C-alpha cells in the first residue's frame, strides 16, 4: 500500500467566457419533469464533479474542444432534460426539471503546464483540481433555479486535456454519470446516436406516502454516536492510498486464517470497507462507548421487478448501515465485520426494505426533517470501480488515463471512495485506490495505522 502527497502547484488557467450549448435539433419537449423519491433525497441535492484525464495523441490533429462541443449539442437531443433547469415545485417543494431549452454551460480553459508535471492530477490538491471543473458551489437556499449539468475542457501544453463535468446528484447517480459521459464520447467519436438510449421513468422509484411520521436515520442513536476530538474542523486534507492487487489478495487470505472455512467468499469492497472503517475509527480517536456507523450504498437496478431498463440514469441505490460501538468495532475481527457488511448489503435486495425506504424518504421530505446530530462516527465508503467507466471513452485520444471525483460539500470528511487506479501505473493493475478525507491531525494517525497494518499483513517494513 502507498499513500501519496499532493503537490500544490500553481495552476493558472486562461478561461474563455462560458457559453451555453443547446440541443443540435429543436425539441418540442416544453415540459416539466418530476424526479423520483431517491432523486429528491435531501442528501442528493449536491453537485458532484468528475475529471477525466486524456494524454496527448500526436497522430490526432483534431481539436477536442470542437468535437466535444458538437457532441454535447448532439447529446442534448437525446438527453434533453439536461438542458433544462432544476427548480422546486411550489405545491410540494420537491425538485423538478423544467425544460427551458437554454442549453448546458460549456467552458474552455488552457494551461501552460504539462499534465505530466501534475502527475495526471493523481495527487493534485483538491482546491487546485477544482479549477479543472465548472463551479460546483451553489447556494441551494437562495438559488432556486440552476443547471443540472456543466462541462469544462482544459487543454494543456503537452497536447493532453481534461474533461471536467459537474452534475447534480439529484438527477443521476454514479452509474448515470458514467452513462452520460460515455454517450458524449461516443458522439464525439462520430457515432450518430448513443449505443444506450436514455430512459427517464422516474415514476418507477416513487414511494407511497402515508400519514406516519418519518423515521430520521440515526435518530434512534442520537446522543449515543461517537465523537472525535478532531471534529468539527475546516482543516481537512485528502489522501490517495494505492492498494495493489497482491495486497488485496493477502487481506482476503487473512480472513481464511481467521475462520476454519468460509461458506461464501468476500468481495474486495467488503474486506476493504472493514479495514478502512476500523482504521478510521482509531485515527479519529472516537470514544470507545460511542456508536460508529458504516454506510453502504447498494445498487438496486437489477433487483426491482421488472429490473430498471439499461438506459435509466436516475438514482437507483439504497443505503444500508452497520452499527457497532467503537469498542465492538475495535475488538471485532475483520472476518466478523466483513460478515456484517455482507449481511447488510443483502438487506437492500429485499422488496419490503426498498418499499419502506422509498416511503420513509417521502415522509421525511413532507415533514422537512433530517438528521442534525453529531456525526463524527458516521462513515460512508462508496465504490466507484464499476460505475466510473461505463465503456470505451476513446474518441481519438485513447482511453482516459485517470479519473478523479470531487465535491465541495463539507460532510465529505465522512465519505471515502474506492476507485480503479490510474492506468499509468502498471504495477497497480487489478488494484484499487482509496480516497480519504480527514482532519489533518487525524490523517497523520490514519497513515500511521495504515503503515502498521501493512507491516502486520504484508510483512513490509518500508
Handedness of CA 116, 168, 300, 292 (dihedral sign): positive
Cα separation, 83 vs 100, in Å, equals 7
Between helices 440-458 and 268-283, what is the axis angle to 10°? 130
Beta bridge partners of 294: 322, 379
Give yes or no: 394 in active site.
Answer: yes
Cα separation, 200 vs 176, in Å, equals 11
Residue 175's CB is within 10 A of a number of other CB atoms, namely 22
Cα separation, 46 vs 98, in Å, equals 18
Which has the closest alpha carbon to 68: 184, 155, 150? 184
Active-site annotation holder among 39, 41, 78, 169: 169
Show the CA angle centred on residue 306, arms to residues 302 and 309, nearest 5°: 65
CB of 196 closer than 8 Å to CB of 183? yes
Phi, psi of 224 (to 5 degrees): -105, -10
In terms of DSSP H, where are the helices of 189-285?
Answer: 245-258, 268-283
Phi, psi of 353 (to 5 degrees): -65, -45
What lies within 8 Å, CB to CB, of 112 at 6+ separation is 12, 157
Cα separation, 426 vs 217, in Å, equals 42
What lies within 8 Å, CB to CB, of 363 at 6+ separation is 209, 210, 212, 213, 214, 215
Residue 43's CB is within 10 A of a number of other CB atoms, namely 15
Which has the closest alpha carbon to 187: 78, 346, 46? 78
What lies within 8 Å, CB to CB, of 5 at 6+ separation is 123
Cell numbers that stand for 165 in this block:
463535468
Between helices 245-258 and 334-347, what is the axis angle to 10°? 100
- CA count, 13 A, side-chain hemisphere, 252: 15
Phi, psi of 183 (to 5 degrees): -65, -40
Active-site annotation holder among 125, 126, 394, 425: 394
Which has the closest alpha carbon to 79: 24, 152, 35? 24
Give yes or no: 169 in active site.
Answer: yes
Cell numbers that stand for 233 in this block:
474542523
Active site residues: 169, 394
Amino acid at each position: 500500500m502507498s499513500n501519496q502527497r499532493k503537490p500544490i502547484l500553481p495552476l493558472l488557467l486562461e478561461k474563455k467566457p462560458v457559453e451555453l450549448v443547446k440541443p443540435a435539433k429543436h425539441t418540442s419537449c416544453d415540459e416539466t419533469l418530476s424526479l423520483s423519491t431517491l432523486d429528491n433525497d435531501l442528501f442528493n441535492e449536491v453537485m458532484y464533479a468528475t475529471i477525466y484525464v486524456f494524454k496527448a495523441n500526436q497522430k490526432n490533429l483534431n481539436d477536442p474542444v470542437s468535437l466535444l462541443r458538437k457532441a454535447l449539442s448532439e447529446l442534448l437531443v437525446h438527453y434533453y432534460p439536461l438542458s433544462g433547469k432544476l427548480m422546486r415545485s411550489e405545491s410540494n417543494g420537491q425538485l423538478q426539471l423544467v425544460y427551458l431549452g437554454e442549453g448546458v454551460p460549456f467552458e474552455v480553459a488552457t494551461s501552460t503546464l504539462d499534465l505530466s508535471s501534475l502527475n495526471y492530477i493523481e495527487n493534485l490538491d483538491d482546491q487546485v483540481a477544482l479549477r479543472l471543473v465548472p463551479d460546483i458551489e451553489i447556494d441551494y437556499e437562495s438559488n432556486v433555479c440552476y443547471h443540472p449539468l456543466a462541462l469544462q475542457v482544459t487543454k494543456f501544453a503537452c497536447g493532453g486535456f481534461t474533461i471536467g463535468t459537474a452534475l447534480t446528484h439529484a438527477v443521476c447517480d454514479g452509474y448515470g454519470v458514467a452513462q452520460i459521459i460515455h454517450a458524449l464520447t461516443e458522439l464525439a467519436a462520430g457515432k450518430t446516436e448513443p449505443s444506450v438510449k436514455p430512459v427517464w421513468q422516474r415514476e418507477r422509484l416513487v414511494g407511497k406516502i402515508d400519514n406516519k411520521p418519518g423515521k430520521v436515520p440515526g435518530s434512534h442513536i442520537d446522543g449515543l454516536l461517537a465523537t472525535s476530538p478532531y471534529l468539527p474542523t475546516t482543516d481537512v486534507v485528502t489522501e490517495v492510498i494505492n492498494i495493489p492487487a497482491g495486497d488485496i489478495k493477502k487481506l482476503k487470505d487473512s480472513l481464511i486464517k481467521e475462520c476454519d472455512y468460509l461458506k461464501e467468499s468476500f468481495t474486495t469492497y467488503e474486506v476493504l470497507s472493514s479495514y478502512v472503517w476500523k482504521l478510521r475509527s482509531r485515527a479519529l480517536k472516537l470514544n470507545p462507548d460511542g456508536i460508529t456507523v458504516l454506510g453502504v450504498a447498494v445498487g438496486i437496478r437489477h433487483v426491482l421487478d421488472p429490473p430498471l431498463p439499461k438506459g435509466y440514469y436516475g438514482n437507483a441505490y439504497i443505503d444500508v448501515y452497520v452499527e457497532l460501538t467503537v469498542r465492538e468495532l475495535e475488538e471485532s475481527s475483520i472476518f466478523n465485520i466483513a460478515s456484517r457488511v455482507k449481511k447488510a448489503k443483502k438487506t437492500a435486495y429485499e422488496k419490503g426494505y426498498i418499499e419502506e425506504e422509498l416511503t420513509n424518504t417521502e415522509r421525511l421530505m413532507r415533514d422537512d426533517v433530517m438528521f442534525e446530530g453529531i456525526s463524527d462516527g458516521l462513515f460512508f465508503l462508496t465504490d466507484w470501480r464499476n460505475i466510473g467507466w461505463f465503456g470505451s471513452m476513446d474518441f481519438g485520444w485513447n482511453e482516459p488515463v485517470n479519473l478523479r471525483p470531487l465535491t465541495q460539500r463539507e460532510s465529505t470528511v465522512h465519505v471515502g471512495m474506492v476507485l480503479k487506479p490510474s492506468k499509468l501505473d502498471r504495477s497497480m493493475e487489478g488494484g484499487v485506490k482509496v480516497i480519504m478525507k480527514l482532519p489533518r491531525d487525524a490523517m497523520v494517525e490514519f497513515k500511521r495505522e495504515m503503515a502498521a497494518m501493512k507491516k502486520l499483513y504484508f510483512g513490509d517494513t518500508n
